[in-house]
């Protein structure tokens, strides 16, 4: 069985990250999955932060028959400003990983790096090949020192968008596009047998339900939601997942705006499949050239109508099946139009887009490229 070390960008969680989706679908590969380290400043983040500081002291968690999860030990802060701190942190992480490699009898595994925290490790760990999944590069911005280091050490580079591929192809000659995917089977299931949506107070949310499953950041533009909630008190707006305190303060004054926090991907899928209309909001952190965000693919897989908020010069994505608005009034108009959608052609077309992005298809392409490069 092939062996792999994965330096992940997030902890192993109930709602899978991109790396989890890719790694968990690999066949005949034994993987040690290392969650990213926190700095000692996490001590000041309360109980959760202090728990993360001690996570590396526990035993590994076998989350799948071929995947064992460990947490990397805490590191010193400010390593981007001081080279001696950076080198000390890298050596500390490498020693911990090598200890686990010996414990699991790993010899010359493939090293998969999905975070800048893994910079420098390819030169300190015994590995046969290095794969860098470059997800953090922002098109138009200069690459960080860590990204450049990983690009220099990698044998194969994956990137989720064409913009990132174009940006790093000038630096690395072996870059492949590996877009985001979706658990199509989960999100395309019929919703007739799922329970009615309810808030934490157990009161059923009246229909129609306009739902947003995207993370709501402080930069997210909420004016279209506020205008629509005020203009149509008979509509319900539901936010799932994570949101900022500012967002709750701004929207909680509307009785028809609700917040829920599903604890797993399965529960999230249950809720999203019951939306009457799915909403995609503006955020400066999104790339207008990357429509294949995880949430958008989940929306498409349900077949439900989708209304997206775009910036004035932003290119419409999936214009044949997504209603794109550029101002609050147009947003309200398109929400009403989406709610009246009758033909099944649009729903079927959306599911075609979703099924084409299934994670199993993405992994099959990833495996093909790894085999071509002699990594499997």
Residue with tokens 């797993």: 264
Residue 306 belongs to what H/E stretch?
strand 306-309
Percent of the chain scored above 90 by pLDDT?
70
For the chain, the domains span 2-181+358-372, 184-356
Overall fold of domain 184-356: Rossmann fold (3.40.50)
Q: How confident is the model at residue 199 (pLDDT cuts 50, 70, 90)?
A: low
Q: Which residue has the higher pLDDT, 248 or 292?
A: 248
Please give the Cα distance from 376 to 368 (Å, whole number). Answer: 9
- Give kind and range of the element (H or E) at residue 89: helix 83-103
**What is the pTM assigned to this prediction?**
0.89
pLDDT band at 249 (very low <50, low <70, confident <90, very high): confident
Please give the backbone phi and psi of residue 275, each rounded to the nearest 5 degrees, phi first: -60, 145
> What average pLDDT does range 84-94 have in this prediction?
96
As a whole number of angstroms, the distance between CA 69 and CA 7 comes to 10
Using pLDDT thresholds of 50, 70 and 90, give the confidence band for residue 193: very low
| Tens-digit pLDDT profile for residues 290-321 | 545 788 999 999 999 999 998 887 778 899 99
Give me the mean pLDDT over the 67-79 stretch: 95
pLDDT band at 263 (very low <50, low <70, confident <90, very high): confident
Cα gap 70→338, rounded to integer Å: 45
Q: Which tens digits make up the pLDDT trace of 103-141?
A: 999 999 999 999 999 999 999 999 999 999 998 777 667
Does the structure show a pLDDT above 80 at 61?
A: yes
64-68, 171-175, 204-208, 247-251: lowest mean pLDDT where? 247-251
Pairing of strands 67-71, 61-64: antiparallel
Q: What would the CATH number be for the domain defined by 2-181+358-372?
A: 3.40.50.2000
Segment 34-41 shows an average pLDDT of 95
Q: Is the pLDDT of residue 192 over 70?
A: no
pLDDT at 284 over 80: no
DSSP 3-state of 248: helix
Q: Residues 22-30: what's their mean pLDDT?
A: 95
Domains 2-181+358-372 and 184-356 share a fold: yes
pLDDT band at 9 (very low <50, low <70, confident <90, very high): very high
- pLDDT at residue 177 tops 50: yes
pLDDT of 371 above 90: yes
Token digits of residue 169: 């192809």
């Amino acid at each position: 069985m092939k062996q792999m070390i994965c330096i992940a960008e997030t902890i192993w969680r109930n709602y899978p990250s991109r790396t989890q989706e890719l790694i968990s679908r690999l066949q005949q590969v034994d993987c040690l999955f290392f969650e990213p380290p926190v700095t000692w400043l996490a001590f000041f983040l309360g109980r959760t932060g202090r728990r993360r500081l001690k996570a590396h002291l526990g035993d590994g968690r076998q989350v799948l028959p071929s995947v064992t999860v460990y947490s990397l030990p805490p590191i010193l802060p400010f390593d981007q400003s001081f080279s001696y701190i950076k080198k000390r942190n890298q050596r500390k992480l490498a020693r911990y990983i090598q200890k686990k490699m010996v414990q699991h009898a790993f010899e010359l595994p493939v090293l998969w790096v999905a975070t800048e925290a893994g910079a420098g490790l390819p030169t300190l760990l015994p590995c046969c090949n290095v794969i860098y999944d470059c997800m953090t590069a922002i098109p138009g911005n200069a690459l960080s020192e860590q990204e450049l280091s990983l690009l220099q050490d990698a044998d194969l580079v994956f990137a989720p968008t064409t913009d990132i591929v174009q940006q790093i192809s000038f630096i690395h000659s072996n870059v492949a596009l590996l877009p985001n995917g979706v658990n199509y089977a989960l999100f395309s299931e019929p919703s007739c047998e799922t329970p009615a949506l309810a808030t934490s107070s157990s009161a059923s949310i009246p229909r129609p339900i306009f739902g947003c499953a995207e993370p709501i950041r402080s930069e997210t533009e909420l004016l279209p939601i506020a205008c629509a909630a005020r203009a149509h008190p008979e509509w319900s707006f539901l936010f799932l997942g994570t949101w900022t305190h500012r967002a709750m303060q701004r929207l909680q004054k509307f009785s028809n705006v609700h917040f829920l926090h599903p604890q797993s991907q399965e529960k999230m899928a249950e809720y999203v499949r019951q939306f009457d209309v799915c909403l995609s909001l503006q955020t400066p952190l999104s790339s207008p050239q990357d429509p294949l965000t995880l949430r958008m693919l989940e929306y498409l897989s349900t077949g439900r109508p989708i209304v997206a908020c775009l910036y004035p010069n932003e290119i419409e994505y999936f214009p044949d099946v997504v209603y794109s608005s550029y101002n609050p009034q147009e947003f309200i108009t398109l929400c009403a139009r989406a709610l009246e959608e009758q033909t099944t052609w649009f729903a079927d077309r959306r599911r075609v887009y979703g099924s084409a992005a299934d994670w199993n298809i993405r992994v099959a392409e990833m495996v093909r490229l790894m085999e071509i490069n002699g990594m499997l």
